[in-house]
Amino acid sequence: MKAQEIKKIKEFIDKNNIEWRWDIRRIKNNRVEEDVIVFPYMWQLEAFIKSFYNDDLFKQGIKCTIRKGYVAIWMSDILSKFDIELEEIFPETNFQHAIS
Protein backbone atom coordinates (compact mmCIF):
# COMPACT_ATOMS: atom_id res chain seq x y z
CA MET A 1 0.00 0.00 0.00
CA LYS A 2 2.73 2.47 0.98
CA ALA A 3 4.65 1.88 -2.25
CA GLN A 4 1.48 2.44 -4.28
CA GLU A 5 0.75 5.72 -2.49
CA ILE A 6 4.31 6.96 -3.05
CA LYS A 7 4.07 6.09 -6.74
CA LYS A 8 0.67 7.80 -7.18
CA ILE A 9 1.74 11.02 -5.49
CA LYS A 10 5.13 11.16 -7.28
CA GLU A 11 3.53 10.48 -10.66
CA PHE A 12 0.91 13.18 -10.17
CA ILE A 13 3.46 15.78 -9.12
CA ASP A 14 5.83 14.91 -11.99
CA LYS A 15 3.15 14.52 -14.68
CA ASN A 16 1.49 17.82 -13.78
CA ASN A 17 4.74 19.69 -13.18
CA ILE A 18 3.61 20.75 -9.69
CA GLU A 19 6.06 23.22 -8.20
CA TRP A 20 7.45 22.23 -4.80
CA ARG A 21 10.31 23.09 -2.47
CA TRP A 22 11.85 22.11 0.83
CA ASP A 23 11.29 24.70 3.50
CA ILE A 24 11.80 25.25 7.20
CA ARG A 25 8.76 26.15 9.23
CA ARG A 26 8.65 27.39 12.78
CA ILE A 27 6.56 25.55 15.30
CA LYS A 28 5.65 26.50 18.90
CA ASN A 29 8.45 27.10 21.39
CA ASN A 30 10.96 27.85 18.61
CA ARG A 31 11.10 24.19 17.60
CA VAL A 32 11.99 24.11 13.91
CA GLU A 33 11.33 21.33 11.44
CA GLU A 34 11.76 20.77 7.73
CA ASP A 35 8.78 20.33 5.46
CA VAL A 36 7.93 20.36 1.77
CA ILE A 37 5.47 22.84 0.31
CA VAL A 38 3.68 22.03 -2.94
CA PHE A 39 2.03 24.71 -5.05
CA PRO A 40 -0.76 23.28 -7.20
CA TYR A 41 -2.78 25.77 -9.21
CA MET A 42 -6.47 26.06 -8.32
CA TRP A 43 -7.44 24.14 -11.45
CA GLN A 44 -5.17 21.24 -10.37
CA LEU A 45 -6.43 21.08 -6.79
CA GLU A 46 -9.23 18.52 -7.14
CA ALA A 47 -7.04 16.08 -9.09
CA PHE A 48 -4.15 16.63 -6.65
CA ILE A 49 -6.37 15.74 -3.69
CA LYS A 50 -7.70 12.65 -5.49
CA SER A 51 -4.11 11.46 -5.98
CA PHE A 52 -3.84 10.74 -2.22
CA TYR A 53 -7.42 10.86 -0.93
CA ASN A 54 -7.95 9.27 2.48
CA ASP A 55 -11.14 9.57 4.57
CA ASP A 56 -9.22 9.89 7.85
CA LEU A 57 -7.06 12.67 6.46
CA PHE A 58 -10.02 14.74 5.37
CA LYS A 59 -11.90 14.34 8.65
CA GLN A 60 -9.17 16.51 10.19
CA GLY A 61 -8.65 18.67 7.12
CA ILE A 62 -5.50 19.81 5.37
CA LYS A 63 -3.59 22.94 6.35
CA CYS A 64 -2.93 25.19 3.38
CA THR A 65 -2.60 28.79 2.31
CA ILE A 66 -4.71 30.04 -0.57
CA ARG A 67 -3.20 32.68 -2.82
CA LYS A 68 -4.37 34.19 -6.09
CA GLY A 69 -4.31 31.32 -8.56
CA TYR A 70 -2.64 28.64 -6.44
CA VAL A 71 -2.59 26.88 -3.07
CA ALA A 72 0.43 26.24 -0.83
CA ILE A 73 0.14 22.86 0.91
CA TRP A 74 2.56 21.52 3.54
CA MET A 75 3.12 17.84 2.80
CA SER A 76 4.41 16.41 6.11
CA ASP A 77 0.91 16.25 7.63
CA ILE A 78 -0.46 14.45 4.57
CA LEU A 79 2.39 12.00 4.08
CA SER A 80 2.59 11.07 7.75
CA LYS A 81 -0.93 9.61 7.45
CA PHE A 82 0.53 7.07 5.00
CA ASP A 83 3.77 6.55 6.99
CA ILE A 84 5.69 8.10 4.10
CA GLU A 85 8.83 10.14 4.74
CA LEU A 86 9.18 13.40 2.81
CA GLU A 87 12.47 12.19 1.30
CA GLU A 88 10.71 9.22 -0.32
CA ILE A 89 8.95 11.61 -2.71
CA PHE A 90 10.98 14.81 -2.61
CA PRO A 91 14.78 14.58 -3.01
CA GLU A 92 16.59 16.78 -0.52
CA THR A 93 18.90 18.03 -3.25
CA ASN A 94 16.16 20.58 -3.99
CA PHE A 95 16.26 21.97 -0.43
CA GLN A 96 15.58 25.69 -0.12
CA HIS A 97 14.76 27.53 3.02
CA ALA A 98 13.15 30.73 4.07
CA ILE A 99 12.17 31.57 7.61
CA SER A 100 9.77 34.42 8.00
pLDDT score for 71: 92
- Domains, the chain, in order of start with CATH, read 2-94 (3.10.28)
Q: Tell whether the torsion through CA atoms of 46, 52, 55 and 61 is positive or negative.
A: negative
pLDDT at 20: 92
pLDDT (0 to 100) of residue 1 = 60
pLDDT tens series, the chain, 100 aa: 677 878 888 888 999 999 999 887 767 677 778 889 999 999 998 888 888 776 666 677 778 899 888 899 989 888 888 888 888 888 876 554 444 3
List, in sequence order, the alpha helices (H) in 16-99: 45-50, 55-60, 76-80
